Amino acid sequence: MASDGLFQLYQIQNNESVCSDYLKQLPIGLSFRDTVEVAFKICPELEDFCNSNYKIFNGLGSRDKGSVGKMVEYFIFGQLPDTDPNPDLSWGADIKATHFKTNKQGHYNAKERLTITNCGDRNDYSTFHPIISATDVSSYKDYPKIRRGVLFVFEHRKGKYNNLQENMNKKLLCCFAYDLNELSKEISNQIDDDFEHIKGTIRAGKITQAGQIFLHTAPHGAGHGSGTRAFAFTNKFVTKLVSIYTGKPITTKGRSWFIEKHHFIGDSV
């Protein structure tokens, strides 16, 4: 943060500590539109970038510019969507967005898995060789993309592909930077177990997402016939990450994990 209390866009994108401070200044419990307004006030360079590049952003396909993940990239971090395989932020984190749904009692948990990065194609099992050759998940070539990220969690609304204006009205429940290397040994052991399980399914020629608890391999790509597989955090692990980094406790009932709704009341800050 500069001496005048404002943030520089370059520092947000390139300095982990500055980015963390910036995230703490963003309001939660309000609409994403309100969050963006605050982001523009505390980082005027961000508003300049968005104004200068809006024609390009608005020219994207509706599914692209309407994606909350790409909206976060653009309106919060001053980046246009691209296909660069490197982490979105130069300090080593990918920008991610997901949704929390409510159960019958109105409590929250992750609606979907969180896709991290492609890892191979079941139509050509040789593409999974980097997984097989890794001794553990931390030695896997794309572990840096698995390890760190910045996560924005929105309240789910009906509709598979919401447009930009609808997404601007969604409530932002929380946002934070995560680092798997900071988490407990219990969690890291489970992720290592999941990775070993994945290796076993590859060796058997039957890669599947079944049987993994926190980290799994999921179908990814257009169409039901896509052979592409990606590493992803399971719904339960996304819920657990939010609990860890927000301090909101998880409630478990049977196989269900959720965060009770009262923990999100009063979060309009």
Structure tokens at 78: 């001053």
Give yes or no for residue 26 having a pLDDT over 90: yes
Residue range 193-203, pLDDT digits in tens = 999 999 999 99
Among residues 237, 241, 227, the alpha carbon closest in space to that of 118 is found at: 227
Give yes or no for residue 4 having a pLDDT over 90: no
CATH number at residue 127: 3.40.600
pLDDT value of residue 221:
74
Q: What is the pTM of this model?
A: 0.92
pLDDT value of residue 254:
86
Contact residues for 67 (Cβ-Cβ < 8 A; gap 6+): 97
Q: What average pLDDT does range 47-74 have in this prediction?
A: 82
159 falls within a domain: yes
78 falls within a domain: yes
User: E-assigned strands of 45-142?
Assistant: 94-102, 108-110, 114-121
CA–centroid distance for 191 within its chain: 17
Residue range 149-163, pLDDT digits in tens = 999 999 998 766 668
Give yes or no for residue 269 having a pLDDT over 60: no
Structure tokens at 213: 């608890």
Helix (H, G, I), strand (E, B) or coil at 212: coil
pLDDT confidence tier of residue 90, bands split at 50, 70 and 90: very high
Helix (H, G, I), strand (E, B) or coil at 144: helix
Residue 131 lies in domain: 9-263
3 falls within a domain: no
249 falls within a domain: yes
Q: What average pLDDT does range 213-232 have in this prediction?
A: 86
Among residues 257, 144, 146, the alpha carbon closest in space to that of 194 is found at: 146
Structure tokens at 106: 């109105």
Highest mean pLDDT of the ranges 33-47, 218-232, 246-260:
33-47
pLDDT value of residue 1:
57
Percent of the residues in the chain that have a pLDDT greater than 70, as a whole number = 91
Place of tokens 């598979």: 160
Q: What average pLDDT does range 96-103 have in this prediction?
A: 94
- Residue 254, phi then psi, degrees to nearest 5: 65, -125
101 falls within a domain: yes
Give the pairing of strands 148-155 and 94-102.
Answer: parallel
119 falls within a domain: yes
- Residue 223, phi then psi, degrees to nearest 5: 85, 155
Place of tokens 């309106």: 75
Number of domains in the chain: 1
pLDDT value of residue 186:
97
pLDDT value of residue 23:
97
Structure tokens at 102: 């409510």
Angle between helices 68-77 and 44-58 (to 10 degrees): 140
1 falls within a domain: no
The CA distance from 18 to 9, in Å, is 10
Written as one letter, the residue type at 186 is E
2 falls within a domain: no
pLDDT value of residue 7:
96
